[in-house]
Each structure stands twice: as C-alpha cells, then as structure tokens.
C-alpha cells in the first residue's frame, strides 16, 4: 500500500505512523462510501454517532495543521458525516494514496 504522508508534511516523523493509524481506525470503524467527484477531490461518508463528528473535526484540524495543502469540509447529518477533501495538483498522488488507504482500512470495495 502506498503511504499518503508526503515529504512536505511538518508532523514529526515519529508521529506520522500514529496519525496514519488514527485515520485507518476511523475508516475501519466508520467509512461507508468513497467517491471521487473530481481529479483533485475525494468525498468520504462516515457513519455518525455520539462524539464522531467531534472526533472527525479534531483529526482533520490536526492534519490541516501539518499538511496545509489539504482542504477539508465536514458536513454533518444525524446519521452520517460527509468529508470532502481537496488538494492542489502538486498533491494529487497524496489524494490517490489517501483514497487507497481509506478503502483498504475499511476492508470493503468502496471504489
């Protein structure tokens, strides 16, 4: 599997596997749908529940802090949370790898 942590990430190298593990756990527990509405866009749908929106927003805020090329938009509904991810053209491969990691972590064919 391709790692989606780019060279430009400012998160300390020792912390990067822990952050990836947080995303993997979230995807494994909550991911229900993945779509790619555009070359530089990824749409994820997660099941909701108590505390899930806060967990998602916290994780994405921390990720934005070290990888500023990501733009995350969260749309919460009672039973699901939508996450739109956008990157610039220079980081398309990172988005590809994030999509691959999400579908692999979810252990289902969500492509």
Count the helices and strands in the chain (H runs, E runs). 3, 4
At 84-102, the pLDDT tens digits run: 999 999 999 889 989 998 9
At a CB cut-off of 8 Å and minimum separation 6, what does 54 contact? none
At 49-60, the pLDDT tens digits run: 999 999 999 999
Helices marked H in the chain = 16-30, 52-66, 92-106
As given in the structure block, the two tokens for residue 54 are 């806060």
**What spatial distance separates the first Cα and last Cα of the chain, rounded to whole Å?**
15
pLDDT of 66 over the 90 cut: no
CATH number of 16-106: 3.30.1360.40
pLDDT of 39 over the 90 cut: yes
Beta sheet of 41-47, edge-to-edge order: 31-38, 41-47, 80-86, 71-76
Domain ranges of the chain: 16-106
């Amino acid at each position: 599997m391709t790692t989606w942590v780019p060279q430009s990430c400012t998160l300390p190298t020792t912390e990067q596997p822990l952050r990836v593990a947080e995303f993997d756990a979230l995807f494994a527990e909550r991911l229900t749908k993945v779509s790619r509405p555009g070359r530089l866009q990824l749409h994820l749908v997660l099941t909701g529940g108590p505390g899930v929106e806060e967990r998602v927003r916290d994780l994405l805020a921390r990720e934005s802090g070290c990888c500023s090329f990501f733009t995350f938009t969260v749309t919460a509904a009672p039973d699901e949370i939508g996450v739109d991810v956008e990157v610039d053209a220079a980081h398309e491969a990172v988005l590809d790898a994030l999509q691959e990691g999400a579908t692999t972590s979810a252990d289902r064919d969500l492509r």
